C-alpha cells in the first residue's frame, strides 16, 4: 500500500513564501501519486527553473531539475528511453510558456505520454515581480511600468488549436479537484497539459486568491471530445472556466510510434547490443 | 635541412577533378568510379567542395587514383571533366599546361584546349541523357586502366541492391561506350597515354572500406552502443544524423529531429539519465545554442557526446565549407567550470575509434565529450581496412541503486560518484542544475559548494591519465616539428613525405583537450615549431602554448573555406623553414 508519507521530503525546508499556491499544488500532486498507487522509484519529475520548478525538491521521487524553460525535451526523452516510468514535467508560466515556449509547441506535436503541470500565477516570482507571458493587459510591474502591452499567452487555446491530446485547467484553491485532474492527466495515454491557476501572494496583487475565486467557474455540460466547443470555452475571457476542456484519445503517443518500442517494450538499459548486425553492416560497406 | 633527394617529377597518382553545377551528377560519377577503381585494385581518395545551394553553382570533386595509399587532396589537376561553362573558370587557378581537359565542347566556353567527348550525344544514342554520367565513368575507368569487368559487376550489384535491375543493361552499355571512347582517345593520340601512370593493381585492397567521415562517426557511435540521437539538421554535421537514422531500426536507436539545438542537447541529457547512450550532432551555430546544455551536463555530471562538425563562421559564415575554427568554442562552451574532453580524428579510422572512446569516457567520467570534425572530414573517403567490432560486453558504468543511494556521493576518491538511473534499484536518482548536496538537493551551503566544485573538477586529473598521446611521424631526432590536429593528418603527412627532409617531424593530435601530458617533451626538443591549422588564429597552437609554456612562432594558416592541398602546403612548409632557417 502506497502512503502519502512516501512522497514527502521531510528534512527539506521549502523556499516558498507562506501562503503560496505552490503548497496546495504540491499536496494535490502527492495525493494524485498516492491514489494511483505509484512507487516513488517509478516516478520522475522533470522541471526547469523558477519557484514552481522547485517542486520536485519537495517530493520524494526521481528528479531531473534542469535548465530554465527546458523541462519538456528531457521529459520526452526519459519517457522514450524507459516507457515504464511515469514522467511529469513541472514548472511555472514563465518557464513553460516563455523561455520554453518553442518546446511547448513541439511537445504537443510529439504527444509523448507525459503530464505537463504548469503553475500559472501570471507573474514572475523568483526574479521578483516582472510580467510573465500570461500576465494580463495593463499589469504594472517594475519593468512593465506602463503596464503589459502584449497579448497574454492563452495556453489552453494554443494547445487545443494544436490538437493536444489532453487539456485541462484547475485552480489550486480546490485541492481535491486539482488532485483529481492531475490523476486523470497522468492516466491519460499521451501528452496532458494541466494549467494550474495559483495566486502569488508576494508579487501579484491583482490576481489574488479572491480574484481567482470570482473569475473562474467549473465547466459543466461540456463535451471534452468536441474540439470546437473546447476551443470556444478556452477563449472565454470574462470568467475563466476550469476543468477538462479537451481530450483526444485516438492519438498514438510518441513512444508508441517509435520503432524501437514496436516489438519490444523493455527499457534501453536491459537491451543487448546487436554485434552481429554491425558486422553485417560493415561487410555490406566493403563492396 | 637539406632534402635527402630531389623531388620526383613524376607523381604517384592521377588527380581527376569533376566540376559542374549541383544536380548534374558529379556525386554519382564519383560514387561509381571510386568503387570501380577500388574493385580494380587501386587506392582511391575522394573529397568534394560545394556551394550552399541545391541546384546550379559550381561544385567540384577530386578523385586521386594511385597504387600507393592516398588520403589527402592536391591542388594539381591531371584530368579535368568540366560539365558546364562555369566549371573551367571555377578551377582555373588549379590548371596548368599538363592538365588534360575532356568535355562536351558544345557545353563549354573556353580558350583552353578541350578534348571533345560528346557525353550527352552518346547518351542519347543509348536512349536517355541520364546515361551521360555512366559514360563518363566508363571513360575515366578506361583512361586509368581500370578493370571493366569489375566495373560491370559493380553496376549489377549497385542497381540490384537498389532494386532497380531494369537499369542494369543500358548502364552497362554506357559504361562500355565510355571505356571504348577512352581507347579511341588514346589510339588516335588525342590523349597521350604517357601522361598517365601505369599503376599496379592490388587484389587485397578489393575489400577495403570506402566510407566517409560522417559514416565513420556513425559507425563508431553504433559500435559504442549509441541508441539515442537528437539533433537539428545543420551542414556539415547532418550526415551523422542521417546515417544513424538510416540504421535506427536495425540497432534500436531513437533518432529525433528536434525543434532546435537547445531541445536536442536537453533531450540527449534526459536520455542518458534514463539509461540510454545519447549523442547530438551539430555545427558551430548549433553548438552556440547548446552551450547552456553543455554546462548542464557539467553540473549534473551527465555523460554527453557532442559531434561538432566545423564550418567557417562567424555566424552563418560559409555553410558548406571547412575550417578548424571552433576549437575555442568547444573548449569554452558553457558557463562555469567543469571538465570536458575534446577529440579530433585525423584519419577515417580515428573517427570510428574516437567516437567509440567518446561514449566510453563520457559514461565513465560523467562529462561532456566533443568529437571535433569538419566538412572536409565528413565528405572525404579513401581506402581503409574493415573496422573491427569490439568484442565482449560494452562497458556500462550504470549501477543498481540501494535505498540510500546518493547520486552525488562525496565519499569517493576520484570525483566519480557511481551513476544510477531511475527505477533501476531501490534508490531515487535526483539530478539538479543548481548547486546541490549529495542527494541532488538544492543548497547554498558553502562547504558543500567547495566540495562539489573540487569533486567535479578533480575528474579532469583522472581522465587525463587515459588521454590519447600525440603521434609522432618522421625522424625522432628532429630539429623542426610540424604540429597539426584533427583533419589535417594526411595532408601534413603527405606534404612532409614529398619534401623528404631528414630533420623535420610531424606531431599529430587526435585529442586536443586536455592537452596530453607528454606534449611538452615533444615540443621542447624542437628548434623550430611550425603550427599548421585550418583557421585564422592558430587556436590549437595557442592552447599548446598555454598548456606547455612553449612559444610557437611559425604558423601556417588557411581560412578561405577549403582544406590545405598537399602540394600547396609543401611549398608553404618549405618557405617557413627557409625564412626562419629552422630556428625559433
Per residue in A169-185, pLDDT tens? 999 999 999 999 999 99
Domains observed in chain B: 13-205 (3.40.920.10), 213-382 (3.40.50.970), 398-464 (no CATH), 471-580 (3.40.50.920)
The pLDDT of residue B7: 37
Q: Using the beta-carbon criterion (under 8 Å), do B422 and A62 form an inter-chain contact?
A: yes
Average pLDDT over residues A249-258: 95
Q: Which residue of A has its CA nearest to B229?
A: A77
Looking up residue A115, the CATH number of its domain turns out to be 3.40.50.970
- Would you call A106 an interface residue with chain B, using a CB distance cutoff of 8 Å? yes
Q: Which residue of B has its CA nearest to A64?
A: B431
The percent of residues above 70 in pLDDT, for chain B, comes to: 98
Q: Using the beta-carbon criterion (under 8 Å), do B274 and A40 form an inter-chain contact?
A: no
Average pLDDT over residues B332-355: 98
CA distance B531 to B529: 6
Query: What tens digit of pLDDT does each residue of B393-442 get?
Result: 888 899 999 999 999 999 998 999 999 999 999 999 999 999 999 999 99
- Would you call A264 an interface residue with chain B, using a CB distance cutoff of 8 Å? yes
Chain B residues within an 8 Å CB radius of A79: 274
Q: Using the beta-carbon criterion (under 8 Å), do B433 and A40 form an inter-chain contact?
A: no
pLDDT at residue B247 tops 50: yes
Query: What tens digit of pLDDT does each residue of B93-105 get?
Result: 999 999 999 999 9
pLDDT at residue B584 tops 70: no
Q: Using the beta-carbon criterion (under 8 Å), do A286 and B386 form an inter-chain contact?
A: yes
The parent domain of residue A60 ranges over 4-9+17-284
pLDDT at residue B345 tops 80: yes
Task: Give one word for A243, left, alpha or beta, with left for phi > 0 and alpha for psi -120 to 50.
Answer: left
pLDDT at residue A277 tops 60: yes
- Asked if A99 and A73 touch (Cβ cutoff 8 Å), the reply is no
pLDDT at residue B121 tops 80: yes
Task: Tell me if ipTM is over 0.90.
Answer: yes
Average pLDDT over residues B231-258: 97
Query: What tens digit of pLDDT does each residue of A17-40 get?
Result: 999 999 999 999 999 999 999 999
Confidence of residue B10 (pLDDT cuts 50, 70, 90): low
pLDDT at residue B580 tops 80: no
The pLDDT of residue B4: 45
Q: Is the pTM of this model over 0.95?
A: yes
Cis peptide before B514 (omega within 30 of 0): yes
The pLDDT of residue B8: 45
CA distance B343 to B327: 10
Mean of per-residue pLDDT scores for chain A: 95
Confidence of residue B351 (pLDDT cuts 50, 70, 90): very high
On the CB side of A78, CA atoms within 13 Å amount to: 32
Residue A98 in grid coordinates: 516563455
Neighbours of A133 (CB within 10 A): 22
- In sequence order, what are the residues at sequence separation of 6 or more whose Cβ sits closer than 8 angstroms to the Cβ of residue A278? B219, B222, B223, B251, B389
pLDDT at residue B2 tops 50: no
Q: Using the beta-carbon criterion (under 8 Å), do A269 and B249 form an inter-chain contact?
A: no
Number of domains making up chain A? 1
Chain A residues within an 8 Å CB radius of B293: 67, 70
Chain A residues within an 8 Å CB radius of B389: 275, 278-279, 282
Amino acid at each position: 500500500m502506497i502512503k502519502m508519507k512516501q512522497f514527502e521530503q521531510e528534512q527539506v525546508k521549502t523556499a516558498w513564501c507562506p501562503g503560496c499556491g505552490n503548497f496546495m499544488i504540491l499536496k494535490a500532486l502527492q495525493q494524485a501519486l498516492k491514489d494511483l498507487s505509484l512507487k516513488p522509484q517509478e516516478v520522475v519529475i522533470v522541471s526547469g527553473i523558477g519557484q514552481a520548478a522547485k517542486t520536485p525538491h519537495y517530493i520524494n521521487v526521481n528528479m531531473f531539475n534542469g535548465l530554465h524553460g527546458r523541462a519538456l525535451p528531457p521529459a520526452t526523452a526519459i519517457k522514450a528511453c524507459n516507457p515504464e516510468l511515469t514522467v511529469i514535467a513541472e514548472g511555472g508560466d514563465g518557464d513553460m510558456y516563455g523561455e520554453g515556449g518553442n518546446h511547448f509547441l513541439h511537445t504537443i506535436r510529439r504527444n509523448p505520454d507525459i503530464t505537463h503541470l504548469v503553475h500559472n500565477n501570471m507573474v514572475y516570482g523568483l526574479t521578483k515581480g516582472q510580467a510573465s507571458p500570461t500576465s494580463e493587459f495593463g499589469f504594472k510591474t517594475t519593468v512593465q511600468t506602463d503596464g503589459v502591452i502584449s497579448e497574454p499567452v492563452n495556453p489552453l487555446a494554443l494547445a487545443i488549436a494544436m490538437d493536444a491530446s489532453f487539456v485541462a485547467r484547475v485552480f489550486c484553491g480546490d485541492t481535491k479537484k486539482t488532485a483529481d485532474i492531475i490523476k486523470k492527466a497522468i492516466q491519460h495515454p499521451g501528452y496532458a497539459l494541466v494549467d494550474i491557476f495559483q495566486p502569488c501572494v508576494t508579487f501579484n496583487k491583482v490576481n489574488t486568491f479572491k480574484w481567482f475565486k470570482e473569475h473562474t467557474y467549473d465547466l459543466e455540460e461540456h463535451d471534452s471530445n468536441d474540439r470546437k466547443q473546447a476551443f470556444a470555452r478556452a477563449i472565454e475571457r470574462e470568467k475563466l472556466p476550469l476543468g477538462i476542456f479537451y481530450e483526444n484519445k485516438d492519438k498514438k503517443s510518441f513512444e508508441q510510434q517509435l520503432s524501437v518500442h514496436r516489438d519490444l517494450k523493455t527499457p534501453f538499459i536491459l537491451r543487448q547490443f546487436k554485434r552481429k548486425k554491425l558486422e553485417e553492416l560493415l561487410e555490406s560497406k566493403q563492396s | 635541412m637539406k632534402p635527402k633527394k630531389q623531388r620526383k617529377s613524376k607523381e604517384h597518382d592521377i588527380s581527376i577533378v569533376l566540376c559542374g553545377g549541383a544536380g548534374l551528377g558529379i556525386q554519382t560519377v564519383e560514387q561509381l568510379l571510386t568503387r570501380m577503381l577500388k574493385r580494380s585494385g587501386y587506392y582511391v581518395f575522394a573529397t568534394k567542395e560545394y556551394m550552399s545551394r541545391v541546384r546550379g553553382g559550381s561544385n567540384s570533386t577530386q578523385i586521386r587514383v594511385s597504387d600507393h595509399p592516398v588520403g589527402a587532396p592536391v591542388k594539381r589537376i591531371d584530368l579535368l571533366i568540366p560539365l558546364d561553362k562555369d566549371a573551367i573558370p571555377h578551377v582555373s587557378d588549379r590548371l596548368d599546361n599538363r592538365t588534360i581537359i575532356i568535355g562536351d565542347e558544345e557545353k563549354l566556353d573556353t580558350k583552353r584546349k578541350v578534348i571533345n567527348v560528346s557525353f550527352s550525344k552518346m547518351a542519347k544514342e543509348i536512349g536517355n541523357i541520364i546515361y551521360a554520367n555512366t559514360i563518363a565513368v566508363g571513360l575515366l575507368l578506361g583512361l586509368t586502366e581500370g578493370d571493366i569487368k569489375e566495373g560491370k559487376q559493380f553496376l549489377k550489384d549497385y542497381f540490384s541492391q537498389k532494386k532497380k535491375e531494369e537499369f542494369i543493361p543500358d548502364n552497362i552499355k554506357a559504361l562500355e561506350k565510355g571505356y571504348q571512347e577512352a581507347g579511341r582517345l588514346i589510339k588516335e593520340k588525342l590523349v597521350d597515354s604517357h601522361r598517365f601512370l601505369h599503376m599496379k593493381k592490388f587484389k587485397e585492397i578489393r575489400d577495403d572500406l570506402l566510407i566517409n567521415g560522417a559514416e565513420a562517426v556513425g559507425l563508431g557511435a553504433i559500435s559504442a552502443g549509441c541508441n539515442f540521437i537528437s539533433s537539428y539538421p545543420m551542414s556539415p554535421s547532418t550526415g551523422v544524423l542521417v546515417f544513424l537514422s538510416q540504421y535506427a531500426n536495425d540497432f534500436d536507436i531513437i533518432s529525433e529531429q528536434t525543434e532546435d539545438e537547445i531541445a536536442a542537447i536537453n533531450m540527449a541529457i534526459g536520455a542518458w539519465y534514463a539509461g540510454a547512450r545519447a549523442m547530438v550532432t551539430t555545427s558551430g551555430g548549433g553548438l552556440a545554442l547548446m552551450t547552456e546544455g553543455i554546462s548542464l551536463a557539467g553540473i549534473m555530471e551527465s555523460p554527453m557526446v557532442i559531434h561538432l562538425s566545423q564550418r567557417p563562421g562567424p555566424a552563418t559564415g560559409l555553410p558548406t565549407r571547412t575550417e578548424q575554427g571552433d576549437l575555442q568554442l568547444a573548449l569554452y562552451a558553457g558557463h562555469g567550470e567543469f571538465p570536458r574532453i575534446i577529440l579530433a580524428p585525423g584519419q577515417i579510422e580515428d573517427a570510428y575509434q574516437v567516437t567509440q572512446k567518446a561514449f566510453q569516457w563520457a559514461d565513465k567520467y560523467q562529462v561532456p565529450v566533443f568529437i571535433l570534425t569538419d566538412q572536409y572530414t565528413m565528405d572525404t573517403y579513401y581506402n581503409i581496412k574493415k573496422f573491427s567490432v569490439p568484442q565482449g560486453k560494452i562497458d556500462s558504468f550504470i549501477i543498481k541503486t540501494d535505498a540510500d543511494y546518493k547520486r552525488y556521493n562525496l565519499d569517493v576518491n576520484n570525483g566519480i560518484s557511481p551513476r544510477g538511473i531511475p527505477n533501476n534499484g531501490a534508490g531515487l536518482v535526483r539530478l539538479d542544475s543548481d548547486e546541490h548536496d549529495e542527494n541532488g538537493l538544492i543548497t547554498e551551503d558553502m562547504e558543500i559548494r567547495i566540495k562539489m566544485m573540487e569533486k567535479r573538477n578533480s575528474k579532469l586529473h583522472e581522465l587525463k591519465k587515459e588521454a590519447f598521446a600525440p603521434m609522432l611521424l618522421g625522424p625522432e631526432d628532429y630539429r623542426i616539428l610540424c604540429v597539426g590536429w584533427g583533419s589535417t593528418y594526411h595532408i601534413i603527412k603527405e606534404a612532409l613525405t614529398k619534401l623528404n627532409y631528414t630533420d623535420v617531424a610531424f606531431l599529430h593530435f587526435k585529442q586536443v583537450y586536455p592537452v596530453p601530458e607528454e606534449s611538452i617533451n615533444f615540443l621542447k626538443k624542437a628548434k623550430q615549431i611550425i603550427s599548421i591549422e585550418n583557421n585564422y588564429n592558430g587556436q590549437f597552437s595557442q592552447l599548446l602554448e598555454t598548456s606547455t609554456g612553449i612559444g610557437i612562432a611559425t604558423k601556417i594558416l588557411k581560412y578561405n573555406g577549403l582544406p590545405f592541398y598537399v602540394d600547396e602546403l609543401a611549398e608553404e612548409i618549405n618557405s617557413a623553414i627557409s625564412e626562419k632557417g629552422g630556428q625559433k
